Amino acid sequence: MSAAEITSIKNLTPDSVADWNVERIRADFPVLRQTVNGKPLVYLDNAASSQVPQVVIDRGSIYLEHEHSNIHRGVHYLSMKATTAYEDAREKVRRFINAREARECIFVRGTTEGINLVMHGCGRKFIGKGDEIIISAMEHHANIVPWQMLCEEKGARLRVIPINDSGELLLDEYDAQLNERTKIVAVTHVSNALGTINPIKEMIERAHKYGVPVLIDGAQSAPHMPIDVQDLDCDFYTFSGHKMFAPTGSGVVYGKAKLLEEMNPFQGGGDMIKSVTFEKTIYADLPNRFEAGTPAIASQIGLGAAIDYLNSIGRKQAAIHEQELLRYATERLSTIEGVRIIGTAREKASVLSFVIENIHPHDIGTILDQEGIAVRAGHHCAQPVMRRFNVAATARASFAFYNTKAEVDVLARTIENVIDIFS
Ligand SMILES: Cc1ncc(COP(=O)(O)O)c(C=O)c1O
């Protein structure tokens, strides 16, 4: 979603969000019906893992009851059924991100594996001594550590785009860092710790002026906004199924076919070869070349079902509802004395990180849990972000389209109680 689209969503009147029948949507998610510590569950940890609708659960059951078999290798009925379902899921992914071809969508276990695949396949082949890799100061560890490992191995240099006090990237600094030594830019679309939506289209354009490929960490964007990899013109885009209403173990790394074809395979093994002798292995074509061994068949089929579900409810309407929840929650928490929101960028996704004076985020999380509210407390695998804002940790509420304003009210009231308890 472009910044302009987000802005137009923000400017919508309450009437335009009233269409969203949140209770009907909630009925699709069995996990939300339970109580925790005697209170209705208020699930606000969606940036870590989102919940799974009944249709996705049912699709997994159908696979296990009627289709379970290994893919690609069998000539028997079940194997062909499983292969068709798995490849159908790939085609759904292709349409979901508007990739040109299904073979550009590689199934991986999640974003971490997607980034590691690009680091090993592309980075280790094309990056050498004295080359530079640009990331940003708001990356998840998954988009820092692999590049650091590569720098250590090759003698390359990691450059980091700094952020301002609101949690926005300093694009002038980015411009200054880009040069003929830059070999890849790897940047998150949405920060999991701050909620910032980065202007990635513009950033990709600037990198391409130097012929530099760009990898987008889409872990926090794919679940919450329409993605069009052709329009973005990104070279790689990766995301995790478990953050977008699908089972764990599912995920995708998209890559432009031309680049994927030039890359080294990530792992070696079955299913990624055309022929093997002790002298030489000929690798399979895309996408199999990057999918060694038996993949998470049921999970990826589940991801396909989650995509169907998202399309059926309307991704744009879902995004509008989430923006409204973010606006409302920001307004509510801003009025509570002692609460400081970390991450106040102009363009934000539905992530609200906060600290409370003299109360450790783990204590906040524990007391909220006693009231049935699930938030995350910690460094969110983004320790450099914590350091930038001079905090050890934050509490983080992250919203999905099934959350309600009433839940935000429960959160705000309970935070007030937390402050009372510690005062
Ligand atoms: C921005 C971002 N990148 C990468 C990851 C890693 O995702 P996964 O653990 O699914 O591989 C996360 C998970 O929280 C994330 O938020």
Q: Mean pLDDT for the chain?
A: 95
The CATH code for residues 3-46+314-422 is 3.90.1150.10
**Mean pLDDT over residues 406-417, rounded?**
98
Closest atom of ligand 1 to CA, residue 381: 14
142 lines ligand 1 (CB under 6 A): yes
What kind of architecture, by CATH, is found in domain 56-311?
3-Layer(aba) Sandwich (3.40)
Cβ–ligand 1 distance for 240 under 6 Å, the answer yes
The model's pLDDT over 279-298, given as tens digits with 9 standing for 90+, comes to: 999 999 999 999 999 999 99
Q: 249-288: buried (b, 16+ CB within 10 Å) or exposed (e) per residue?
A: bbbbbbbbeebbeebebbeeeebbbeeeeeeeeebbebbb
Report the pLDDT value the prediction gives residue 14, as an integer from 0 to 100.
Answer: 45
- Which atom of ligand 1 is closest in space to residue 192's alpha carbon? 16
303-362 per-position pLDDT tens digit: 999 999 999 999 999 999 999 999 999 999 999 999 999 999 999 999 999 999 999 999
Q: Which atom of ligand 1 is nearest to the CA of 188?
A: 1
Q: How confident is the model at residue 144 (pLDDT cuts 50, 70, 90)?
A: very high
Q: For residue 219, report the distance from its CA to the centre of ligand 1, in Å.
A: 5
pLDDT of amino acid 13: 44
Distance 362 CA to ligand 1 centre (A): 21
Cβ of 396 closer than 6 Å to ligand 1, yes or no, is no
Report the relative pairing of strands 35-36 and 39-40 from DSSP bridges: antiparallel
pLDDT at 3 over 70: no
Whether 250 is in the pocket of ligand 1, judged by its Cβ within 6 Å, is no
pLDDT confidence bin for 18, thresholds 50/70/90: low
CA distance 317 to 223: 13
Predicted confidence (pLDDT) per residue in 90-133, tens digit: 999 999 999 999 999 999 999 999 999 999 999 999 999 999 99
Q: Is residue 151 flagged as an active site residue? A: no
Atom of ligand 1 nearest to the CA of 139: 1
390 CB-contact burial (10 Å; exposed 0-12 / middle 13-18 / buried 19+): exposed
Q: Which of 189, 300, 381 to mutate to test ligand 1, by most ligand atoms within 8 A of the CB atom?
A: 381
Handedness of CA 319, 320, 322, 327 (dihedral sign): positive
Atom of ligand 1 nearest to the CA of 240: 10
- Alpha helix ranges (H) inside 127-265: 145-154, 171-177, 200-208, 229-232, 257-262
Cβ(136) to ligand 1 under 6 A? no
pLDDT tier for residue 6 given thresholds of 50, 70 and 90: low
> What separation in Å is there between the alpha carbon of 77 and the centre of ligand 1?
37
Q: Ligand 1 mean position to 252 CA, how many Å?
A: 12
pLDDT tens-digit readout, 46-101: 999 999 999 999 999 999 999 999 999 789 999 999 999 999 999 999 999 999 99
What letter does residue 348 receive in the DSSP assignment? B
Q: Where in the chain is the domain with CATH 3.40.640.10?
A: 56-311
Nearest-angstrom CA–CA distance, 315 and 310 = 6
pLDDT tier at 11 (50, 70, 90 boundaries)? very low
Q: Please report which confidence band the pLDDT of residue 5 belongs to, taking 50, 70 and 90 as the band edges.
A: low
Task: Assess whether the C-beta atom of 299 lies below 6 angstroms from ligand 1.
Answer: no
Over residues 207-263, the pLDDT tens digits come to 999 999 999 999 999 999 999 999 999 999 999 999 999 999 999 999 999 999 999
Model pTM score: 0.96
Q: What is the pLDDT of residue 7?
A: 45
Q: Cα(275) to centroid of ligand 1, in Å?
A: 35
User: CATH 3.90.1150.10 occupies which residues in the chain?
Assistant: 3-46+314-422
